[in-house]
Amino acid sequence: MTRPRIVVTGMGGLCCLGKNTDEIWAAMRKGTCGIGPLTIPDKDDLKVSIAGEIAELPGHDLDRRQLATMGRFGLLAVLASGEALRQAGLDAGQMPEMRIGAVIGTGVYGGDAVEQSYRSVFREGKKRTDIFTVPKAMPASPSVQTSMAHGLTGPVFGVTSACSSSNHAIASAVDLLVLGRADAVVAGGSEAPLSYGVLKAWESMRILAKTGCRPFSADREGLVLGDGAGALVLETLEHANARGATILAEIAGSGFSADASDIVSPTLEGPVAAMRDCLENSGLSPEDVDYINAHGTSTQANDKIETEAIRAVFGKHADALSLSSTKSMHAHCLGASGALEAIACINAIRYGIVPPTVNYTESDPDCDLDVTPNEARRRPVSVALSNAFAFGGTNAVIAFKAA
């Protein structure tokens, strides 16, 4: 039996680059860096001073009672999913017979809700926290809030695998469609890590940058965290054609692996295995790939190992690839990064433009691929890979291709 083809019919997103996908893509094309000064409460007690903060949320008409039950990452997921559903032309209220699901990933949890509970008890002297602290903070919150806000009654669940969460969510949505468990699925990720407690914990790891995010540049000094969410609407090609939907791209396949080695230090073998698995699952050869949106976190070890892994998988063709890390612009949004990077991959295919790696100042012999430094580049892109290599060695790679 032939596996059904899975296509993307809608996209939604918001991050420090913009409050919708058009704004995000325009910023990526221009090479705009959305990272700026951190403005959260108690920031003076933090060493980190920069982040990818969302300056303005899009307007919405969400019910006040539901808003009272949402943490920030739940709200971001609802907003991104709403944009994706609108572009796809799907309204669950008008299509009650459709089984529309939601699979949303997150890398951490609702840190803002937990932090507010501590403030209430230890600073404000209250005897109890907000009654909705648990549902606001739980990792499933973005998926269930998306379901409730948009009336999605198909399969709904959350995915958490650190920085690979979005890619695992997208792949899980593909599986639901292939198995016939849903007619359409909203898939992506949401994250809101810019709270005092979460940032303080990341500081302890000594991998946060002080001055900027510079992936693959010899003077890179670490990653920068950001708020964000991204969502794709996925359907089978047959279903999308039957309802006359506009097709943005196709999910060619996916690949996974586990390092099974160290909780924070990446291996070479894990990323190599995930990329090779993705190519095999997609029926692609290395030479078919034009662009890779790299994991590219701007740490010394990660960027070096990712470069080695790409060379191991693609051989001589590695020198013909375009590579970039859009985290240099939208920061590392942890479990949401893969969804934002999916938007970059899909638009690279649609418009024949590779977004740049900005803030690149100095070549590194250990990162000797074409990383599209500082300025976007026009080139035909038929196939793009999105790499996600997370803490704990949970690796997930998605292949997109022109439909």
The catalytic residues are: 163, 295, 332
d(CA 29, CA 52): 18
d(CA 128, CA 121): 7
d(CA 326, CA 331): 8
R_g of the chain, CA atoms, integer Å: 20
Query: Where do we find the tokens 């949505």?
Result: 173
- 229 bridge partner residues: 14, 190
Count CB-CB contacts under 10 A for residue 352. 14
- Token readout for 332 is 């590392």
Q: Where are the alpha helices (DSSP H) in 186-264?
A: 196-205, 237-242
Q: Which of 171, 140, 178 is nearest to 156 (CA)?
A: 140
Give Cα separations from 65 to 83, 111, 134, 298, 372 (angstroms): 21, 21, 16, 41, 46
d(CA 23, CA 83): 13
Angle between helical axes of 300-314 and 269-282 (0-180°, round to 10): 40
DSSP 208: B
d(CA 403, CA 248): 7
- Which residues touch 261 (CB under 8 Å, ≥6 apart)? 267, 270, 393
SS3 content of the chain, % helix, strand, coil (to 5): 40, 20, 40
- Which residues touch 220 (CB under 8 Å, ≥6 apart)? 209, 213, 214, 298, 299, 300, 303, 364
Per the CB < 8 A criterion, the answer to whether 274 and 396 are in contact is yes
d(CA 354, CA 299): 22
Per the CB < 8 A criterion, the answer to whether 174 and 8 are in contact is no
Per the CB < 8 A criterion, the answer to whether 27 and 226 are in contact is no
